[in-house]
A and B are shown apart, each in its own frame.
Chain A
């Protein structure tokens, strides 16, 4: 019987060593250790033996069982390792290929740079307590001019060449039209911005468009000063350009502010040494601003003796051109995705 056990053991050992797959090993395990397996068969006959023999054979066959099991496990891990090694070979791919299927090129969606800058500006200002307002693009003379202290026949009307609609209204020439609508709706103190599309009746070239984007800003509170205005403008530009930008403030005439300014930023395209974008001056006119004219506050139903405010109108196209070094304003509305994919 012991001899038989030895045979089972050596046969199983050689079969295990020769096994080529995990399934094969499993078969060996069943054939030897399973309920109908060879070793189990021997153990089943133990009852016929004397107690001493039973104990001896029993011990031996348990030792053989352990041995076979550990041989199976060992072989199994060998096989697994070699299987994984061969998978690693098989599953090699050329990771330098650009796409799994280069004919079906993946292009992510791009927000228009004007939207991107608009949202950035909205986020900066809402974080400082400004509410975002809207207004119509086709406006009345009243909101676009009259209530902004630009009456009929005022020479300042020449400053903004206007598209007139057949029904006697106009395409807003600036987002400042949003100011009056805002004042009518809100009670001071308030802080608002109004981004949007504006129109000018002028021939287009590299630096002129008949359609562009502005964001209007206005703060009305007690004792608002020029120093406050400059503060907000500096914060805005620092956030937009992620660095301190050199600015200068000089007198500028806009009937709806008094005093009124032009805010110039140091040309970021040439660094101030002069280029076509800054017309060789080193400075780019970025935004008109000023303290809200008392007449405008009155038109908005606000008492100028009690409240004061500042307002600004930032040209978003110009800002983007500065940030990315775009040299032609006509790209924005070209509809050419080769331009839009860059942002």
Chain B
């Protein structure tokens, strides 16, 4: 929203206050001022001047040289306009005049002739759209006068308000509201622009009726008939004001209703009286599928929640949102009815949302406006029309339908409550002074306050003692409050074990295994999923996605991580990354329950070189992670069948914590590498952190140090090349659970003299007894048992 300093200064004396100071204090006490704009400040250095001599330019046919006199000062400028003559009074932009941010008038040479200034068109000056030639002023105009003095209304400062910061303040959607704030902040007087005594002038010559069907939906409706209207362009001051507040001038009546809305905060509407069918205005709920064409030419089919303004023939306006085309003011309109009404904010908000009509009127009505504004707005509107349209007059009294008048409200609190909430010593006198300046009616009984709330603050904004705390605090200045530590018992807070577990996991990956943490969007899209082969449509979708790439919630961290590989391989030979984040599973319960969210930790290793498989590095990470997280039992089994489409079936293992399936370790499937043009190898582990968190943990206990010597035993076993070495290891481990202390695969060999399709697995076994030193015969029997058990399963020594 825009605020014009010119309009504000009609209500509060701002002399001596800079726009910057006003903006800062409003930001600190009332609402955020997002910007200050100086309107037409160039008019201050554009002066009236008389062309004393007009000569042809020696070097250019279309240019002329003009000698000018401006109150005794003389100037020569080069001019390209076609319309000026000797003796004309024109607008001269003197050297130094700034148009906008870029264009500054300088002393220059144009085609060899010196020019110290520029003669301007009305468009260049921002006074109209006329660009047919330079501006010619009336011959009686004094010269040497800045245009800012001739067109004072065009020179303005406007403030841009952050609309979000006045969501709760219906009164601040107007100049009146901000003028009151400035008055309270700077201790100045506020003057209303409404002259209520004008109401005495109204006579009921052409009466009409207003009927409100549903006072809950439409508490008040004020109408006034006016006649002898001539629709015309607005006078300069009005056009300038309307432009300042960010609107486009249309015609005198529309501009006045817009101006009054901005001035007072009450949206207004004017109907063409001739088009009204009958003598009654009815404010009622729309009937289902009633149709209405609004001023913007859109056809709407209404529902019973919408409020309409209707006449004998049907709806003529979508109440509080937009007028209807069928009652619109025309260039030849002479009789009008002015409307200022009050509507239920929820109805207006729903209607405006339903038909996507976020009009200035709707934005205000949905904030819960004070019904008291209706009459004020009608009177102010009448006042301005009388000034702007000569001969116009009221044709009725104010027809005021107001079945249930608004009950003024009070709130009871105390100065000690206010001090306690702010945590600041502010004496009673200052508290009452602040509230009184804000138009609150304060009755003080020894610190117990009974506070009458002005109606324009009472519709929604101020209702409880805490609201009064805010009023005092913001004018007192929050920056003036001394920070203070509370007096509270000292005790360590409860531990969030899950959070700590997440943090520990991240630390292990980043600090012990050199993975870098990435964070990806929670969203995925169909194209990406299809590329990976995950297009089952199981994801929880968004109703209002920003794009098709982000139209549903991820069920896995992997798709976005694959894109991370694609991106990072461009700049890196190798990397390790991981993400810890939520995945979301649609809940199929009825009625719809929240999606199930689980936390996953997924790591990716990438290397351009395809020498040793990264799979083992991924596996090392997972094994160490389990150990550091003290997961009591871990099991890894080769997985070939039950795999997602992105996992390499010949390079995959399933990970169990206890009995729970916790995730997978795998290489990226070659077809995904192809699809994403990943040039290198990528290994991935993908684990369910929630399962890891709840898995049974190892409790650390001391174990007596090894006292008796370990006896190594090395063998080479022949096996089919597709045999998992774990199978051989398991046989050996099982051969004597007590005394086979360790089994390691040392190396694997294929090739001569090993038969084709076979491999030789070299294994190092360590025997040890906790109770005694192994005797030669013990060792021999252990070795025989190992060899015998292997042979029983078809594994022979090489």
Contact = CB atoms under 8 A, between A and B. Distances in A.
A245 B181 CA distance: 30
A169 B587 CA distance: 11
A336 B563 CA distance: 10
A320 B467 CA distance: 34
A153 B368 CA distance: 12
A338 B352 CA distance: 47
Best-surrounded residue of A119, A156, A231 (most CB of chain B within 10 A): A231
Interface in B750-781: none
A262 interface: yes
B423 A228 contact: yes
A109 B513 contact: yes
- A interface, how many residues as a size bin? 35 or more
Given A225-B422, A340-B516, A230 B594 contact: no
B797 interface: no
Given A138-B540, A227-B483, A338-B571, A169 B560 contact: no
Contact of A132 (B466, B490, B499): B499
Interface string A131-165: 11110111110000000000001011011000111
Contact of B587 (A108, A164, A167, A337): A167
Contacts of B470: 251, 258-260
Contact of A155 (B30, B367, B421): B367
A226 B474 contact: no
Given A138-B584, A153-B350, A341-B516, A228 B540 contact: no
A111 B516 CA distance: 6
Interface in B503-541: 503, 506-507, 509-511, 513-523, 540-541
B720 interface: no
Interface in B476-520: 478-479, 481-486, 488, 490-494, 496, 498-499, 503, 506-507, 509-511, 513-520
Nearest to A168: B592
Nearest to B561: A335
Contact of B540 (A156, A166, A258, A293): A166
Contacts of A156: 167-168
Contacts of B27: 250
Contacts of B561: 335
A226 B481 contact: yes
A177 B727 CA distance: 52
Nearest to A162: B544
B213 interface: no
B424 A227 contact: yes
Contacts of A134: 496, 498-499
B686 interface: no
Contacts of B592: 167-169
B568 A165 contact: no
Interface string A22-45: 000000000000000000000000
A325 interface: no
A337 B498 CA distance: 27
Nearest to B165: A253
B519 A136 contact: no
Best-surrounded residue of A132, A226, A228 (most CB of chain B within 10 A): A226
A255 B466 contact: no
B702 to A, nearest CB: 31
B28 interface: yes
A261 interface: yes
A175 interface: no
A28 to B, nearest CB: 39
B528 to A, nearest CB: 13
B179 interface: no
Contacts of B577: 335, 337
A65 interface: no
A225 B553 contact: no
Given A228-B484, A335-B563, A248 B496 contact: no
Best-surrounded residue of B30, B494, B573 (most CB of chain A within 10 A): B494
Interface in B445-480: 464, 466-467, 469-470, 473-474, 478-479
A258 B462 CA distance: 11
B767 to A, nearest CB: 37
Given A169-B595, A258-B466, A333 B520 contact: yes
Contacts of B567: 334-336
Interface in A85-134: 105-112, 114-115, 119, 122, 126, 129-134
A223 to B, nearest CB: 6
B62 interface: no
Given A122-B499, A210-B546, A293-B466, A155 B483 contact: no
A105 B573 contact: yes
B421 A225 contact: yes
Contacts of B466: 258-259, 291, 293-294
Contacts of A335: 518-520, 560-561, 563-564, 567-568, 577
A201 interface: yes
A289 B511 CA distance: 36
B15 interface: no
Interface in A305-340: 308, 332-338, 340
Contacts of A137: 522, 582, 584, 597
Contacts of A291: 421, 466, 469
B31 interface: yes
A301 interface: no
Contacts of B575: 107, 337
Nearest to A250: B28
A129 B490 CA distance: 7
Given A155-B366, A167-B587, A340-B517, A248 B28 contact: yes
B29 A111 contact: no
A114 B581 CA distance: 13
B50 interface: no
A211 B517 contact: no
Contacts of A5: none
A227 B595 contact: no
Nearest to B565: A335
A132 B571 CA distance: 38
Interface in A245-273: 248-253, 255, 258-262
Interface in B548-606: 550, 553, 560-561, 563-564, 567-568, 571-573, 575-577, 581-582, 584, 586-587, 592, 594-595, 597
A337 B481 CA distance: 44
A199 B490 CA distance: 35
Interface in B256-290: none
Contact of A110 (B517, B545, B563): B517
Nearest to B587: A167
Best-surrounded residue of B28, B423, B503, B584 (most CB of chain A within 10 A): B423
B510 A110 contact: yes
A8 interface: no
A203 interface: yes
B543 interface: yes
Nearest to B498: A134
Contact of A231 (B469, B473, B483): B483
A155 B587 contact: no
Contact of B543 (A110, A133, A164): A164
A231 B485 contact: yes
A333 B509 CA distance: 19
A197 interface: yes
B734 interface: no
A336 B569 CA distance: 10
Given A132-B499, A249-B481, A250-B478, 8 more contacts: A107-B575, A138-B540, A164-B543, A210-B521, A291-B466, A335-B563, A335-B564, A337-B577
7 contacts: A140-B594, A225-B422, A227-B481, A250-B32, A251-B28, A251-B478, A258-B464
Interface of A: 105-112, 114-115, 119, 122, 126, 129-134, 136-140, 153, 155-156, 158-159, 163-169, 171, 189, 191, 197, 199, 201-203, 210-211, 219, 221, 223-228, 230-231, 234, 248-253, 255, 258-262, 291, 293-294, 308, 332-338, 340-341
Nearest 6 Cβ contacts at the A-B interface: A225-B423, A227-B423, A259-B470, A109-B510, A167-B592, A249-B478
